[in-house]
Amino acid sequence: MDEKVLLRLFLKELGEEDNDVSYVDGLAVKIDGFAESWAKLPFHTYADLGWRAVAATLSDLFVKFAVPKALLSSITAPDAQKAREVFDGIREAAAHFGVRYLGGDLNQGREVVVDVAAIGAVPVKIGRRPRAGHVLIAPPLFGYTGLAFVASREGERSPVVAKGIAWLKRPMLDWPKPPPPDCVSASMDSSDGVADVLWTMARGVDIILEKLPAPEEVISEALNLGVEPEEVVLNAGEEYLPIFAVDPRCVPEGYVAFAKVVEGEGKVYYKGEELKYRGWAYFR
Amino acid sequence: MDEKVLLRLFLKELGEEDNDVSYVDGLAVKIDGFAESWAKLPFHTYADLGWRAVAATLSDLFVKFAVPKALLSSITAPDAQKAREVFDGIREAAAHFGVRYLGGDLNQGREVVVDVAAIGAVPVKIGRRPRAGHVLIAPPLFGYTGLAFVASREGERSPVVAKGIAWLKRPMLDWPKPPPPDCVSASMDSSDGVADVLWTMARGVDIILEKLPAPEEVISEALNLGVEPEEVVLNAGEEYLPIFAVDPRCVPEGYVAFAKVVEGEGKVYYKGEELKYRGWAYFR
């Protein structure tokens, strides 16, 4: 059982909704984290891991229009120095995003594990099931992280790959202004790849992917590196970019409509066939 | 720098209070966790670790009179089976304590790490600095976990040690009814030992420990095993028992006054000397 299947099973057993945030008494709450062994790439510092955990958590809040009130962290580390570096990254990110950081727990362990929890105020509740007739929109900026996963070990790094590395080190969440919430039937941030978002949203509907939400320089760099653009754009993850299902009349500046939601039974199609990519999941 | 010193430094840098919970807009929030390599004893199952993380978090809320609204978890595990077991323990504990469990995050890592976050409603705010003239009270049940740390590896386990092992596996938080909040100047749960609580509370005051808050069977078992009763009662941890600083007229049924708070400059005394025990801290 992979991570996604297991998580859905857990939530079913708990009778809780499968969503990017949980709703409790007018609040949105979220916890997100990872372990060094799976998350730390050679270019990452421990402070980068702290920053990324904050960005990952806030990204989930922001895509639900939640306004963060505070962050808590639990830092596990083999020594005090690494714990200190993770803390610095969390603190820098909290300051950057303007969110109060309350501190949290500190523990010793074999490797660094960072967990960040956040609470936010919510004006609306938005799930993960889009309405048929809606379109999926996103900033057309996918693929940089995918290129960096593929090419970061090469000696010479192109500017496009370098952009992906910077993105993986310190995700900035500088999203264009989201659509009005009343246009939105579903939303998710992409942390495990566009393909994961598409398959997750395709429950009780089908989704037809019409184009890759990526800039031209990403496509040409992928071809240049000899990898499929679809792999890089759809299957990477850690973009922390928003994907909204909206009424087709509600596509704001900075977003492209790249897929449509139709009546169906849970499939994702691309170029007339079932999409072969699934995005990232642990335990697969 | 040990864990406690580092955590205090972090909180100072953040301008946040050093307390068992953080207060945000009428809520108490808390995150607590640990890694398998430091927390799992031979008798622990992974489900026990899940249970314990819940008990550790709720203990902090309860000692501040907070009423928990919900729990979130982040589970890191090397495989899906271990993740499943931790989840089961969290779910059982949440059900036992009657708190909604929202699910959370799931990640792969080298070892099991469990983090549990909770939010609660708070009628009052209580810190960690007791008033001079108050007494420290607690249920006189310390030492069982200390005995289990010392003796759990022996072949033959006495009933007293077995009680400590059960306590370390599934802390029950079956505290006697706490004092009225308006009697209380400070409170902490004991997760890192009575000695840690005493030294933490001794800021701007001195604390005089007058007796060990432990039952007779613990003292005699310690002597029987050839260990100092003070070591077992004061220096163990994971009791998840409450310690309240209260007006001496407010000692409820089930609690004993075991120390007094006097004017001073941050020392803890026992039998006329500075207390040599400090409780548990990582990175020491």
Is pLDDT at B156 greater than 90 in this prediction? Answer: no
> Of the candidates B172, B197, B159, B189, which has an alpha carbon nearest to the alpha carbon of residue B280?
B197
Confidence at B155, pLDDT banded by 50, 70, 90: low
Q: Are the beta carbons of A109 and B83 separated by less than 8 Å?
A: no
Q: Which CA distances in Å does B244 have to A42, A204, B226, B275?
A: 48, 54, 31, 19
Q: Which residues contact residue A167 at a Cβ distance below 8 angstroms, ignoring those fewer than 6 apart? A: A144, A145, A148, A238, A239
Domain B135-274 in the same topology as domain B20-121: no
Chain A CB contacts of B84 under 8 Å are 6
Q: Are the beta carbons of B22 and A72 separated by less than 8 Å?
A: yes
Q: What is the pLDDT of residues B208-254, one digit of tens each?
A: 999 999 999 999 999 999 999 999 999 999 999 999 999 999 999 99
Q: Residue A1: helix, strand or coil by DSSP?
A: coil
Mean pLDDT of chain A: 97
CATH fold group of domain B20-121: 60s Ribosomal Protein L30; Chain: A; (3.30.1330)
Q: Are the beta carbons of B14 and A108 separated by less than 8 Å?
A: no
DSSP run (H or E) holding B69: strand B67-77
> Of the candidates B272, B42, B245, which has an alpha carbon nearest to the alpha carbon of residue B134?
B245
Q: Are the beta carbons of B115 and A33 separated by less than 8 Å?
A: yes
Q: In chain B, what percentage of residues exceed pLDDT 90?
A: 96
Q: How far apart are CA B209 and CA B226, in angstroms?
A: 23
Q: How far apart are CA B75 and CA B50, in angstroms?
A: 9
Sign of CA dihedral A128, A134, A139, A144: positive
> Of the candidates B68, B132, B153, B93, which has an alpha carbon nearest to the alpha carbon of residue B261?
B132
* Residue A43: predicted pLDDT: 95
DSSP per-residue string spanning B105-121: EEEE-SS-EEEEEEEEE
Is pLDDT at B207 greater than 70 in this prediction? Answer: yes
Query: B69: which 2 tokens?
Result: 């609204």
Q: How far apart are CA A220 and CA A266, in angstroms?
A: 32
Checking DSSP bridges between strand A241-246 and strand A256-263, what pairing results, if any?
unpaired
Q: Residue A211: helix, strand or coil by DSSP?
A: coil
When scoring A108, A128, A192 by the number of chain B Cβ atoms within 10 A, the one with the most, hence best to mutate, is A108
Select from 3.40.50.880, 3.40.190.10, 3.30.1330.10, 3.50.7.10 the CATH code of A21-121. 3.30.1330.10
Q: What is the pLDDT of residues A43-88, one digit of tens each?
A: 999 999 999 999 999 999 999 999 999 999 999 999 999 999 999 9
CATH fold group of domain A135-274: Phosphoribosyl-aminoimidazole Synthetase; Chain A, domain 2 (3.90.650)
Is pLDDT at B154 greater than 80 in this prediction? Answer: no
Count Cβ atoms below 10 Å from residue A15 Cβ, excluding itself: 8
Confidence at A155, pLDDT banded by 50, 70, 90: low
Q: What is the pLDDT of residues B19-64, one digit of tens each?
A: 999 999 999 999 999 999 999 999 999 999 999 999 999 999 999 9
Q: What is the largest CA-CA distance in chain A?
A: 54
Q: Side by side, which strands form the sheet with A135-138?
A: A184-190, A241-246, A135-138, A256-263, A205-209, A268-270, A273-274
Domain coordinates in residue numbering, chain A: 21-121, 135-274
Query: B203: which 2 tokens?
Result: 């800021």
> Of the candidates B103, B114, B110, which has an alpha carbon nearest to the alpha carbon of residue B70?
B103
DSSP per-residue string spanning A139-156: -S-TTHHHHHHHHTTSSS
CA distance B142 to chain A (A): 23
Q: What is the pLDDT of residues A192-241, one digit of tens each?
A: 999 999 999 999 999 999 999 999 999 999 999 999 999 999 999 999 99
> Of the candidates A52, A66, A77, which has an alpha carbon nearest to the alpha carbon of residue A22?
A66
Is pLDDT at A121 greater than 80 in this prediction? Answer: yes
Mean pLDDT of chain B: 97
**Nearest chain B residue (CA) to A15:** B102
* Residue A110: predicted pLDDT: 98
Chain B CB contacts of A283 under 8 Å are 79-80, 83, 108
* Residue B157: predicted pLDDT: 83
Confidence at B153, pLDDT banded by 50, 70, 90: confident
* Residue A227: predicted pLDDT: 94
